[in-house]
Amino acid sequence: MKKNEHIKRWGEKPYYSLDYYLKKTFGEKIYKVALDGGMSCPNRDGTVSTGGCIFCSNGGSGDFAIKHDKDNDITRQIETGINSLKANEKFVGEKFIAYFQSFSNTYAPVSYLEDIFLQAIDHPLISALSIGTRPDCFSSEIYDLIERLNHIKPVWVELGLQTKHEKTAEFINRGYTLEVFEKAVHELRKRNITVIVHVIIGLPGENADNLYETIDYLNQMDIQGIKLQLLHVLKDTALADLMGSFHILTPNEYIDILCECIAKLSPDIVIHRLTGDGPKDLLIAPEWSKNKRQVLNTLSHELKVRGIYQGQKLKRNGGF
């Protein structure tokens, strides 16, 4: 890529941001409405494990989602979420993404999934459906359902990989192997489903090089988006019980790692997240992450000062 060409490619940012992708795809700013499908997780109910991933809160990583009700009224959740967003004085736009966030949102019978997903996708203000889940929570019937929905409106599937390293995966109690992840990606892409992968920065036992190996691995996979998530230590998690036994990243360390991740990441992959939110009432560490705006502003400044853009150090065929 020629000097400064990336600026023209992605607007004002030196990386392929979700905001840029949404405006190019839908013609305007789009907001996510976080929903609760009322499901659990095989890593909690005993099917795989009972503890869940060590960093996962009691809300199943859906602490900001509208709470589920016994009537499975997804339309109510959407309306509540939209009204909440519109109450913000900075709100603009009339299109939304229905984001099933809490727990594993393909972990239910197909008939149940079809009901709640159709409620979401049929809503006139919903432009796309995003489903957060685990790669071990699929069947051929579920894949086919998602494919049918994708013909109605765009469907994204978000998979919580976190790391490519099996040793780390075992430590965090992820509960599935890399082979399972790869099969899910293959099946989804075979049906032309957009795949977004979650990666955690700062996992216990991992250094920056381990993380970059995960980025290099994902560059070789057929994925369309990535969420780079700072490790948050939340109350009432197994990770909280391990406090003091692993390193918590400093702001400078995190910015350095983010800059390198962006430089190594394929320019074809949309970056959906660069830090993430930890509920302030649950967050134990790192305290500095509460100021998300400052983190993003510092990142923007450092990318500019260092002249970094996405794909600058992309590793191809064993070299850069």
Give the residues across from 195 on adjacent strands: 157
Kindly report, residue by residue over 101-155, the tens digit of the pLDDT: 988 999 999 999 999 999 999 999 999 999 999 999 999 999 999 999 999 999 9
Contact indicator for 100, 132 with CB cutoff of 8 Å: yes
Closest CA to 127 of 161, 157, 152, 101: 152
Burial readout 142-163 (b: 16 or more C-beta within 10 A, e: otherwise):
bbebbbebbeebbbbbbbbbbb
Distance CA 34, CA 193 (A): 20
User: Taking the model in full, what pTM does it have?
Assistant: 0.93
Tokens of 254: 């995190």
How do strand 283-285 and strand 233-234 relate by DSSP bridges?
A: antiparallel
Tokens of 25: 């795809």
Give me the torsion for CA of 119, 120, 124, 126, rounded to 10°: 180
Kindly report, residue by residue over 32-49, the tens digit of the pLDDT: 999 999 998 999 988 998
Please state, in angstroms and as integers, the Cα–Cα distance from residue 287 to each residue in 68, 80, 175, 250, 271, following that order.
30, 30, 29, 10, 24
Mean pLDDT, residues 68-97: 84
Kindly report, residue by residue over 255-291, the tens digit of the pLDDT: 999 999 999 999 999 999 998 777 888 899 999 999 9
How do strand 225-230 and strand 283-285 relate by DSSP bridges?
A: unpaired
Distance CA 279, CA 38 (A): 20
Distance CA 175, CA 52 (A): 8
